[in-house]
Structure 1
Amino acid sequence: MKNLILILLTLLCLVGCKKDVNQSFVINGKINGDIPKYIYLKYGNIKDSSLIENNEFKFYGVIKNPTKADFVIHPISSINKSFYIENSSFDIEITSEKKKYKDIELNFINIDTIFNNNTSKIQYDFENFIKEFKNSSDWESKLSNKLNELILKNPENQYSGDILSEITEQSILPINEIESLFKKLDLEKQSKNSIWRIKKILYPIEKINVGQNISDFELPNNKGFLINTNSFRGKYLLIDFWASWCIPCRKQNIELLKVYKNHKNKDLEILGVSIDNNKANWLKAIDKDSIIWQNVIEINGFESDILQKYNVISAIPHNYLIDPNGKIIKENISINELEKLLNE
């Protein structure tokens, strides 16, 4: 009886231990070249650090499905390619080299080898497939079949969505084929960025232009109230897209404050649209910059439908001047131009 209990306890322990391994990841890393004190791992919204000892480092964590990751070395670094972490124990070897680029010292990180990582094998296989068949006469057909095979076998793996977004942006395959492949992905497990990159090509949003009427939108302000652009009719409205982390935006806030104080009781309103994904940073910036005009936040950032419609694709600050009737009269108006127009 005692032996039977011991056997059962051992089996339970083995099952439990195996479950823990499958639900977490362990990165056993080795670094060569210019070796810093710490190395950082970034994936999703997480940034972790590891002390490097004897050229080795480790990272531990838990993820729901294979996820794209990058190594970072402070203060500034660049990596040759992203890799994927998954809930397993795997080994990775990298080389770090300090180089100067435009008088800035960068840490260039090169991933040399990855062992015992299933997603890396999938990635390596697909990269070799491209090298072998890219110049073949039936490249499109081969690529479509390969992507279909990849996605059907790995619908939850973020690599599937990432590579499909890259292929989509290269306009290699017809849109209907891309859409068919896209629908086979488990979208809940894919990165938001890859989904957005594919969707903006499959289902493009009509962009606004100077001379057209404004496309009204509604977003929450810093006090939690919803603000709609249609509430500003009757005055000139400057819609200013910005963020707390954008240095040019913060400098422009100082100049905008002067203009706003001169014209707020006459003919000008400003609506700041922050693309911060951190509300606390947004609120701190409003306070620090003494912003007194209406400010709303779009936490989806550049992936927002609003920003797509307003052609704010990758750079801020970006603004639109709207006339009292709701017509767009200028895109990216300078402070001097704005002041001159309001003084006329």
Structure 2
Amino acid sequence: MKRYISLLFLFFLFTGITSAQEKKAPNFILKGTFSGKHAHAIFLSYKDDHGKNIEHKAYLSNGAFTFRGFISSPVYAFVRSDKKIVPNSPDVSNAVEIFLSPGNMTISLMENDFANAVLMGSPMQDEWIKLLTLYRPVNKIKDSLYKASFAISRGGNTPKNHVAVMALGAKIDKCNLQIDQIDYSYIGSHTNSYLSAYLLSNSMQMDMRLDSIEMFYNLFSQPVKKSVEGKAISKIILNRKAAMVGSVGRMPLGTNLDGSRFNPQTFKIDNYLLIYFWAGWANDNVYLKSVYNKYQSKGLKILAVSTEPFKKMWRDSVKKERIGMWQNIFSDPVANLDTFYNIRQMAPSLVLLVDKNRRIIGRYRGVNKLYKMDYNEEPLGLLDKKLATLISR
């Protein structure tokens, strides 16, 4: 929903799916009708109160289907048919996001037009439909900007076209900021809303600062905090705090360059350690090489953790960047980096300064104009000054 198009499918593709059989008695019924000729079954997916994914399958009978299940609170859900226009790929026209609520609901679906599905009986869905009216003026402008950008792109990647596309992209970014402000205003004024928790969870995907997340989360009522999204937000807050300055750092897990497993228990910190999260497209190797050469003899080590998606890319990047003198590992799995360290694949590099007791004493970010540093992060350029102060003691 909103602008998180890719998240529609990543939500279910990259997490395990639990059987639809639930132990608790059903507290919702979703009855639906389907108009079309090609589908044989409809699927309904959502998360339970433990954060696990539940998927139901209902076969069509004379164009009708029924789902029964248990949800501890109103939740985001995903409905799709077994018909795919393009095999082995997400079929947007036959998939739609909805919000389930306990109780009796109905939904009407039309083949190749799930975007216009009508869901009745869910208060959370009704709330979402009202919020969409606030997005509509901004989204209308965004749509026109995207169309203009695509039209220019079709003319070829010339310098003139590139400048024009970049200018339109900047305007699209401003529209996204407007939508963010609509969300923040809604969250702050609807603290008893399960939709507010959903909006906050989505905002967290866009590098939202931890202090802002906590501020909004603390406004929520207890039922919202205990909801599926509320629990997920609480867990992420705790994990991010665990990687903040003053905490004992969680050592990453992964694979060494020679293919063996990295063992954090036997990895010795002589004096200070830099846990450095990087990738070929987001690194500060030139700066860190100078820092390493300056303080290596004083007991400084670097544990370089790759955020590359593939091992071959990682090994090629290590060779190209000439950083084999550091301890290099391929993170296992990469997806957990955001959970445990607040670092995303496409984010700027992150450096944690850790003392010999494995306590985080500094958190530094590489340069990226689009990234908003968290409240206890500093620019990477200040790392040298910090080390000079520490080692001179």
TM range (shorter): 0.3 to 0.5
TM-score, length-scaled by structure 2: 0.42
TM-score, length-scaled by structure 1: 0.47
Larger Rg: 1
